[in-house]
Amino acid sequence: MAIKVLLITQWFEPEPTFKGQVFARELMRQGFEVEVITGFPNYPGGKLYPGYKLKWLQKEVIDGVKVTRVPLYPSHDTSAIGRIFNYISFSLSALIYGLFGAKRPDVIYAYHPPLTTGITAILIHFFRRIPVVYDIQDMWPDTLMETGMITNPHALSIVGKVCDWVYHYVDHIVVLSPGFKRLLVERGVAESKIDVIYNWCDEQSLASPTGKPPNNFPDQDKFRVLFAGNMGKAQGLSAVLDAAEILQKTAPTICFIFLGGGLEVEQIKQRVISKSLVNIVFLPPVPMGEVGNMLHAADVLLVHLKKSPLFSITIPSKIQAYMAVGKPILIAVDGDAAALVKNAEGGVIAQSEDAESIAAATLDLYQLSVEKRQIMGNKNKQFYKEKLSLQVGVSRFGEIFKSLSVRH
């Protein structure tokens, strides 16, 4: 008989999420029976998506996956209060359904963040004696402190203690980087309880891009360095602007393309104007299929994060997308993310928040032959296929699910 997996995740299609429909569908393809408990879609805007109305339960079948939606307080406020109500309301609804409504699974998979999803999974575990696999995509309380969502030391301490409680009672933990694993071991979690399974990307959208680059996408006579994704404080893109200023004088055919949105976009644009930079182009956010088109059209793909102990153990999800399309990567991130690109032999590493280092690394890639850059890109693509792909990642989750279901 197929092993039954109950996926508890606050966010699911049509919301943007790492481990949503694609994950559930691949589990089913690999022989598992899957039910998803999630909320009514409202992320990231904090308002219910068109076509949805809050009610006690809504059951759907999306691409063959059974999805049960439970009510929550829709919110994605910048204030902590709205977010907390959003998290707790989903957690309580999911707990009630998980205890009294869901068909008994063999394994529970819980997606973190938020931490409240882990609490729900543990309480169901206590009452129904079902093993729990906890997938940590964000290290709390570290991220809460780094982003400024919670700054009160006492509150952060409480969150840390609740995290430790969840880690103690879950049966297995999956993390996205070796650094996350090291940090958990330092905090007292048994090393044997933790597996590193790298994230994958939206392979289908990237493999079959739609449309074409917009008219203001630079022509092939330019050397195009593309940054795709969120532009917020964590990305620290002022250092990239400083690197562009250096290169505008020394290598005017190099241009930087910023594709996406975020809280810092307008501020970055103002800095570009104040610096009189003509080697930077901004493009608005587009669907992933169209992103794929621009990733393919660029010469080099850029990753940058601020210097931070937390970011040194984080692997930005754009790296997987960059590798999957087979392009060389310019990475200015310390730690695990840089190690991944180094292991793939698919790019050049610069120092985070160091304009001169970023400019020098860009020049190194610019001066390589087209053939050598293509070799780098091919190595990235092969590395992704062998180490990071959806099939590889889900197979490893499947091994954990099977092992736990046999033990219980």
Predicted confidence band of residue 406 (pLDDT cuts 50, 70, 90): confident
Task: Dump pLDDT digits (tens) for 317-373.
Answer: 899 999 999 999 999 998 999 999 999 999 999 999 999 999 999 999 999 999 999
pLDDT reading at 377 higher than 90: yes
Question: Average per-residue pLDDT in the chain?
Answer: 93
- Residue 77 has a pLDDT of 65
Mean pLDDT of 298-313: 93
- Residue 78 has a pLDDT of 63
- In angstroms, rounded to a whole number, what is the distance separating the alpha carbons of residues 104 and 167? 23
SS3 letters for 196-248? ECCCCCCHHHHHCCCCCCCCCCCCCCCEEEEEECCCCHHHCCHHHHHHHHHHH
Architecture in CATH for domain 4-200+389-407: 3-Layer(aba) Sandwich (3.40)
Predicted confidence band of residue 204 (pLDDT cuts 50, 70, 90): confident
- In angstroms, rounded to a whole number, what is the distance separating the alpha carbons of residues 148 and 253? 39
Task: Dump pLDDT digits (tens) for 265-283.
Answer: 999 999 999 999 999 999 9
Residues of the chain with CATH 3.40.50.2000: 4-200+389-407, 204-388
Predicted confidence band of residue 312 (pLDDT cuts 50, 70, 90): very high
Predicted confidence band of residue 255 (pLDDT cuts 50, 70, 90): very high
What single string gives the DSSP state of each residue in 17-76? -SSSHHHHHHHHHTT-EEEEEEE-S-TTTTSPPTT----S-EEEEETTEEEEEE------
CATH topology of domain 204-388: Rossmann fold (3.40.50)
Percent of the chain at pLDDT exceeding 70: 99
- In angstroms, rounded to a whole number, what is the distance separating the alpha carbons of residues 216 and 237? 21
Task: Dump pLDDT digits (tens) for 159-180.
Answer: 999 999 999 999 999 999 999 9
Query: What is the four-CA torsion angle of 104, 106, 111, 117, rounded to 10 degrees?
Result: 40
pLDDT reading at 67 higher than 80: yes
pLDDT reading at 210 higher than 90: no
Q: Please answer whether residues 303 and 318 qualify as being in contact, where contact means their C-beta atoms are separated by less than 8 angstroms.
A: yes
pLDDT reading at 129 higher than 90: yes
Q: At CB < 8 A and 24+ separation, what contacts does 296-299 make?
A: 296/209, 296/325, 296/327, 297/213, 297/217, 297/224, 298/224, 298/225, 298/226, 298/257, 298/327, 299/223, 299/224, 299/225, 299/327, 299/328, 299/365, 299/373
E strands in 53-179: 58-62, 65-70, 107-112, 132-136, 172-175
Integer CA distances (angstroms), 121 to 110, 124, 126, 322, 366, in order = 6, 5, 9, 34, 50
Mean pLDDT of 375-404: 97
pLDDT reading at 213 higher than 90: no
pLDDT reading at 208 higher than 90: no
Between 146 and 158, where is the model more confident?
Answer: 158
pLDDT reading at 408 higher than 70: no
